[in-house]
Amino acid sequence: MSASPDELLVGTLCLLIVVPWIAWTIWRGFRQGALPIGRGYVRREERPGPFRALLASYLIAILLMAFVGMDLLFGLTS
Protein backbone atom coordinates (compact mmCIF):
# COMPACT_ATOMS: atom_id res chain seq x y z
CA MET A 1 0.00 0.00 0.00
CA SER A 2 1.47 3.35 -0.98
CA ALA A 3 1.46 6.37 1.28
CA SER A 4 -0.78 9.34 0.54
CA PRO A 5 0.81 12.68 -0.35
CA ASP A 6 -0.12 14.03 3.10
CA GLU A 7 1.66 11.15 4.82
CA LEU A 8 4.73 11.65 2.65
CA LEU A 9 4.84 15.36 3.45
CA VAL A 10 4.41 14.93 7.20
CA GLY A 11 6.87 12.02 7.35
CA THR A 12 9.47 13.97 5.41
CA LEU A 13 9.04 17.06 7.59
CA CYS A 14 9.26 14.91 10.68
CA LEU A 15 12.54 13.33 9.60
CA LEU A 16 14.10 16.44 8.08
CA ILE A 17 13.05 19.08 10.62
CA VAL A 18 11.71 17.70 13.90
CA VAL A 19 14.23 14.91 14.51
CA PRO A 20 17.31 17.07 13.76
CA TRP A 21 15.87 19.88 15.89
CA ILE A 22 15.50 17.58 18.91
CA ALA A 23 19.00 16.17 18.28
CA TRP A 24 20.41 19.71 18.14
CA THR A 25 18.66 20.56 21.41
CA ILE A 26 20.19 17.50 23.10
CA TRP A 27 23.64 18.26 21.69
CA ARG A 28 23.45 21.91 22.75
CA GLY A 29 22.25 20.85 26.21
CA PHE A 30 25.26 18.61 26.70
CA ARG A 31 27.62 21.31 25.46
CA GLN A 32 26.16 24.05 27.66
CA GLY A 33 25.21 21.81 30.58
CA ALA A 34 21.58 22.95 30.52
CA LEU A 35 18.48 21.59 28.77
CA PRO A 36 15.54 23.87 27.94
CA ILE A 37 12.14 23.30 29.48
CA GLY A 38 9.51 25.90 28.69
CA ARG A 39 11.18 29.29 28.99
CA GLY A 40 13.71 28.10 31.55
CA TYR A 41 16.61 25.70 31.74
CA VAL A 42 17.53 22.73 33.91
CA ARG A 43 21.23 22.93 34.69
CA ARG A 44 23.24 19.72 35.04
CA GLU A 45 25.46 20.93 37.89
CA GLU A 46 22.58 22.38 39.93
CA ARG A 47 19.98 19.62 39.48
CA PRO A 48 21.47 16.40 38.08
CA GLY A 49 18.36 14.25 38.72
CA PRO A 50 15.88 16.44 36.84
CA PHE A 51 18.51 16.98 34.13
CA ARG A 52 18.73 13.21 33.56
CA ALA A 53 14.93 12.88 33.57
CA LEU A 54 14.57 15.67 31.01
CA LEU A 55 17.34 14.14 28.91
CA ALA A 56 15.48 10.81 28.98
CA SER A 57 12.31 12.61 27.84
CA TYR A 58 14.17 14.20 24.94
CA LEU A 59 15.64 10.82 23.94
CA ILE A 60 12.22 9.17 24.02
CA ALA A 61 10.81 12.05 21.95
CA ILE A 62 13.50 11.72 19.29
CA LEU A 63 12.98 7.95 19.04
CA LEU A 64 9.21 8.32 18.74
CA MET A 65 9.47 11.10 16.14
CA ALA A 66 11.91 9.03 14.09
CA PHE A 67 9.55 6.06 14.26
CA VAL A 68 6.53 8.16 13.27
CA GLY A 69 8.39 9.66 10.33
CA MET A 70 9.60 6.25 9.14
CA ASP A 71 6.13 4.79 9.57
CA LEU A 72 4.50 7.55 7.55
CA LEU A 73 7.04 7.24 4.75
CA PHE A 74 7.37 3.47 4.56
CA GLY A 75 4.19 2.13 6.18
CA LEU A 76 5.94 0.05 8.82
CA THR A 77 2.83 -0.70 10.89
CA SER A 78 0.22 -1.10 8.17
Q: What is the pLDDT of residues 10-36, one digit of tens each?
A: 999 999 999 999 999 999 999 999 999
Integer Cα distance of 9 and 41 in angstroms: 32
Integer Cα distance of 45 and 67 in angstroms: 32
Residue 1: the pLDDT is: 61
Residue 76: the pLDDT is: 87
Between 19-28, 59-68, 69-78, the lowest mean confidence (pLDDT) is in 69-78
Residue 18: the pLDDT is: 96
Residue 47: the pLDDT is: 96
Name the nearest CA neighbour of 32 among 18, 20, 19, 46: 46
For CA atoms 23, 26, 29, 31, give the dihedral sign.
negative
Q: Is 38 left (phi over 0), alpha (psi -120 to 50) or beta?
A: left
Residue 78: the pLDDT is: 72
